[in-house]
Chain A
């Protein structure tokens, strides 16, 4: 060992240096240090009384010692750096880079350990799944840097709510999981879940933004409701999903009936994939009518699912699942393509249809392939873009700071833009001014209220605003003569609803038009 050799060497009293003694001692110790060998060599050759030789040996010794010390300290430093790197890598493998919280791997490890202890000592383990409500909106509108800082702030608050023996983990995206390693009963877990929810109430101050976030929370208990690690995780996730479905910003304890709903959802998801493959989707067309002349000005294409022979399934029954599992994108593309193909066929056949309106979900609109997809459809079907109107909801328009650019791009292609269900979403006047919108569609809930005299004021106001902003105003859901009369008086240009016609199949619609 380096220090032993050096230590042995140093047993010689350097201040009372005597070359002969040195030679003798070094030979006895059979040292292998290069510097010492040099010294030894010199000692043997030179006259022992020669002062120059004495100093030279001293200098060689010092240099040898110095090099040994340097090498030893550097070796120590290198070893420490290597150990630090190893420890850092080990930490990184088990922690989330953004929040430094335990990741899924470490959570699973601790979960296994907690379940094992719970089995041995007969206590319960609670798993709490948390998901930030509408986090995507923050990421989309303020950017990922702000979103990341928000996640860090959320992580800190969650950690502050639990015991050291509990684990707060980032499960991915905006999902967090809290493992309570020992709880007495479900009430214990519910209390902590409420504490976590309350911790989110004060706004997060990030880069000058005051951000409010809520959480949807799902709780599962081992062994009360879930008997294995896998089911514990799955059940907490299922409960969280139910919390979201029931209006978000709430916590729900898992119950077995939730699984039935999850299974039903899974079954719909599979059926939707099959529906696309087996061409079970069809489009119906509801005419839009000029209220003054009574002439049909166009149609809105509406999706129907022909899953059973005797009845059609309306989008309301499956669109949420389609959104959640992402199949909304291929379905949306199919709708767009089919509507354009059919319209082109009608136009080529000499039918006087002026416009086809297609509903576009927020997910589709904000997908990066949306605009190229439309270009492909128009190219593929040969439909003149001026025939195509895209209907977007207010909330869909408000989700992205790039909305204005996308809308201008679509307008540049020659398409028309309509705001669907107007009055039920954000209803911000600034977007009416900034977005290149052609049409406002008054939501049918307002039109319905015309019957009892309560809705007239709002409808009149929307029409007046639309007219003054030079937008075409279309009333949805017209069902009675009374509603039609009022809308005509209020200068509403177009309308649609059962009063004129329900949505018709592609075979029936041309008959109505002709």
Chain B
């Protein structure tokens, strides 16, 4: 199987999962599924609180570029945070949603890489992302 760089993998994965859909609900579901898979990979390694804090920080950093993304307070769970993130999608252009989703995942992977190193990040995340491309 081809070796993908993480950013590349994120792009492929989003393209396949969202597939230029303009349906907010469809995009939301795809993001939730992807996120659950990522969480499933990370929680055994950095724990649920570790995963939440990386996600929360990624959302905060993404919000700087996409200020319409609603942020939850620091104490909220990642489920609440992603819920608010998805609610922010309402009424937005699908192209914008795709860009915001990519930015969030990309920020998340970069932040994770800065904490645990790029090789491990790649090893943990790529299987989730590449699973889609492999199927196709």
For A9, give the chain B residue with the smallest CB separation: B116
Give, as a whole number of angstroms, the nearest-CB distance from A3 to chain B.
5
- Distance between B45 CB and nearest chain A CB, rounded to angstroms: 6
Distance of A289 Cα from B26 Cα, bound (Å): 97
B32 at the interface (CB under 8 A from A): no
Could you give, for residues 45-80 of chain A, a 1 whenever the CB lies within 8 Å of some chain B CB and a 0 otherwise?
Answer: 000000000000010001101101110111011000
Whether A32 sits at the interface, judged by CB under 8 Å, is no
Complex Cα distance A73/B51, Å?
11
The answer on a CB contact under 8 Å between A69 and B117 is no
Closest to A6 in B: B116
**Complex-state Cα separation, A120 to B90, whole angstroms:** 56
Known A-B contacts A62-B45, A76-B57, A77-B57; the reply to A10 vs B50 at CB < 8 A is no
Which residues in chain B, 20-61, are within 8 Å of chain A measured between CB atoms?
Answer: 44-50, 53-54, 57
Measured CA separation A8–B117 after assembly (Å): 8
Task: Pick from B44, B48, B53, B117: contact of A4, CB below 8 A.
Answer: B117
Q: Which residues of B contact A14 (CB under 8 A)?
A: 44-45
Please determine whether A69 and B44 come into contact, CB atoms closer than 8 angstroms: no
Partner of A66, one of B49, B111, B114, B119: B49
Q: Which of A2, A8, A62, A76 makes the CB contact (< 8 A) with B46?
A: A62
Given A70-B53, A72-B115, A76-B57, A10–B120 Cβ distance below 8 Å?
Answer: yes
Give a binary string over A73-115; 1 marks a CB under 8 Å from any B CB, 0 the rest: 1101100000000000000000000000000000000000000
**A429 → B minimal CB distance (Å):** 55
Contact A69 B46 (CB under 8 A): yes
User: From residue A298, how far is it (CB to closest CB) to chain B in Å?
Assistant: 73
A70 and B52 alpha carbons, distance in the complex (Å): 9
Q: With a CB–CB cut-off of 8 A, which chain A residues contact B48? A: 66
Do A3 and B114 touch across chains, with their CB atoms under 8 A apart? Answer: yes
Within 8 Å by CB of A73, from B57, B117, B119, B120, lies: B57
What chain A residues lie within 8 Å of B116 (beta carbons)?
3, 6-7, 10, 65, 69
- Count A-B pairs with CB separation below 8 Å: 59
Q: How far is the CA of A444 from the CA of B117 in the complex (A)?
A: 92
Asked if A11 CB lies within 8 Å of chain B CBs, one says yes
Q: Name the distance in Å between B71's Cβ and chain A's nearest Cβ.
A: 13
State the CA gap A14–B44 with chains docked (Å).
9
Q: Which residues of A contact B44 (CB under 8 A)?
A: 14, 58, 62
A58 neighbours in B (Cβ, 8 Å): 44
Q: Are B117 and A7 in contact (CB under 8 A)?
A: yes
List of B residues within 8 angstroms of A11 by Cβ: 119-120
A72, closest chain B residue (CB): B115
Q: Which residue of B lies closest to A8 (CB)?
A: B117
C-alpha spacing A66/B45, complex, angstroms: 8
A contacts with B: majority SS: helix
Convert B65-91 into 0s and 1s, putting 1 for each residue whose CB lies closer than 8 angstroms to a CB of A.
000000000000000000000000000
Q: Is the CB of B120 within 8 A of A7?
A: yes
Given contacts A3-B114, A62-B47, contact A69 B120 (CB under 8 A): no
Q: Mark A384-406, 1 if CB is under 8 A from B, else 0.
A: 00000000000000000000000
- In the complex, are the beta carbons of B46 and A66 less than 8 A apart? yes
Q: Is the CB–CB distance between B117 and A3 below 8 Å?
A: yes
Residues of chain B contacted by A66 (CB below 8 angstroms): 46-50
Indicate the member of A10, A66, A69, A73 with the most B CB atoms within 10 Å: A69
Closest to A69 in B: B50
> What residues of B have a CB within 8 angstroms of the CB of A73 in the complex?
53-54, 57, 111, 115
Cβ–Cβ < 8 Å partners of B49 in chain A: 66, 70
Q: If A3-B114, A69-B50, A69-B115 touch, does A10 touch B57 (CB 8 Å cutoff)?
A: no
Chain A residues within 8 Å of B120, by CB: 7, 10-11
- Asked if B114 and A69 sit within 8 Å, CB to CB, the answer is no
Cβ–Cβ < 8 Å partners of A7 in chain B:
116-117, 119-120
Q: Which of A219-261 contact B (CB under 8 A)?
A: none
Interface centre among A11, A63, A66 (most CB of B within 10 A): A66
Residues of B within 8 A of A72 (CB): 114-115
Given known A7-B120, A11-B120, contact A65–B53 (CB-CB < 8 A): no
Q: Please give, as numbers and ranges, the residues of chain B lying within 8 Å of A6 by CB-CB distance.
A: 115-117
Which residue of the partner chain A has the closest CB to B48?
A66
Complex CA gap A62/B44 in Å reads 6
Chain A residue, CB-CB nearest to B118: A7
- Report how far A222 CA is from B49 CA in the complex, Å: 63
**A208, chain B: closest CB distance, angstroms:** 32
Question: How far is the CB of B11 from the nearest CB of chain A, in Å?
Answer: 25
A1-59 interface with B by 8 A CB criterion: 2-4, 6-8, 10-11, 14, 58
B107 nearest CB across to chain A (Å): 12
Interface residues of B (CB under 8 A from A): 44-50, 53-54, 57, 111, 114-117, 119-120
29 A-B residue pairs with Cβ-Cβ distance under 8 Å, sorted by A, are A3-B114, A4-B117, A6-B115, A7-B117, A8-B117, A10-B117, A11-B119, A11-B120, A14-B44, A14-B45, A62-B44, A62-B45, A62-B46, A65-B46, A65-B47, A66-B46, A66-B49, A66-B50, A69-B50, A69-B54, A69-B115, A69-B116, A70-B50, A72-B115, A73-B54, A73-B57, A73-B111, A73-B115, A74-B53
Known: A4-B117, A69-B53. 11 other contacts (CB 8 A): A2-B115, A3-B114, A3-B115, A3-B117, A6-B115, A14-B44, A14-B45, A62-B46, A66-B46, A69-B50, A69-B54
